[in-house]
Amino acid sequence: MVQYRIKDPYKFLFKVHDVRRLLIDMSEAAMRLVVGDRSINEVISKREEIAIEARNVLQTEMDRAESGINIVTIEMKKTNVPGPVQPSFNEVNQATQEKEKMIYQAKEDYNKAIPAARGEAERTIKAAEGYALDRVNRAKGDAARFKAFYAEYAKAKDVTKRRLYLESLKDLLPKIGEKYIIDADQKNLLPFLNLGKQNGAKK
């Protein structure tokens, strides 16, 4: 239903031959234009929004035709789905709502997962950087010790060789079980092996 008032009597009376027919035709055209770009759900649920947009379109066309009419309101009657297609419409509507629900849930899960993944990635990167820094520092320390050893070795090669040899023995001997120290000039080793004694005899 279209409500209007006459804003220019001259145009209303003399510019248009049949104002009533023009209003009907333009109203139908404006409504088809606005409704044609919308889904049936929007037509049912957004009647007021559609009516306002259709009024604006209709007013533009009536002004272009110099009708002298001011469109006050367009009131849309309640729109219902025809009975035979109501079950199918309900199924489509339910599927649409389910889809929107799934999209919302997916976005919510995404918003939760991304910060957690970023935090885990940052922790991993920091751990890797710390490990790399530790390895670099250790390598620098090893290089510094090697340079110190080499400088000492260059100053007194024989003394350094012997010191390193003795330090190596000090580290190795505790790890060896029984030890036999034999005179290098001794020809016969049997008396020193205690072959005739029971196990546990002192060596």
Paired strand residues for 3: 73
Q: How confident is the model at residue 183 (pLDDT cuts 50, 70, 90)?
A: low
Q: Give the contacts of 96 (CB within 8 A, at least 6 positions apart).
A: 41
Q: In Å, how far are 89, 150, 157 from 164, measured between CA atoms?
A: 92, 12, 11
User: Which helix (H) or strand (E) element contains residue 148?
Assistant: helix 86-155
Domain ranges of the chain: 2-80, 85-144
Residue 41's pLDDT is 74
Residue 194's pLDDT is 54
Q: How far is CA 80 from the centre of its chain?
A: 42
- Predicted TM-score (pTM) of the model is 0.41
Residues 57-114 pLDDT 10s: 999 999 999 999 999 998 877 666 666 766 776 777 778 788 888 898 888 888 888 8
Residues 10-54 pLDDT 10s: 999 888 889 889 999 999 999 889 888 787 777 777 888 888 999
Mean pLDDT of 131-150: 83
Could you tell me which residue, 168 or 34, shows the higher pLDDT? 34
State the CATH architecture for 2-80. Answer: 2-Layer Sandwich (3.30)
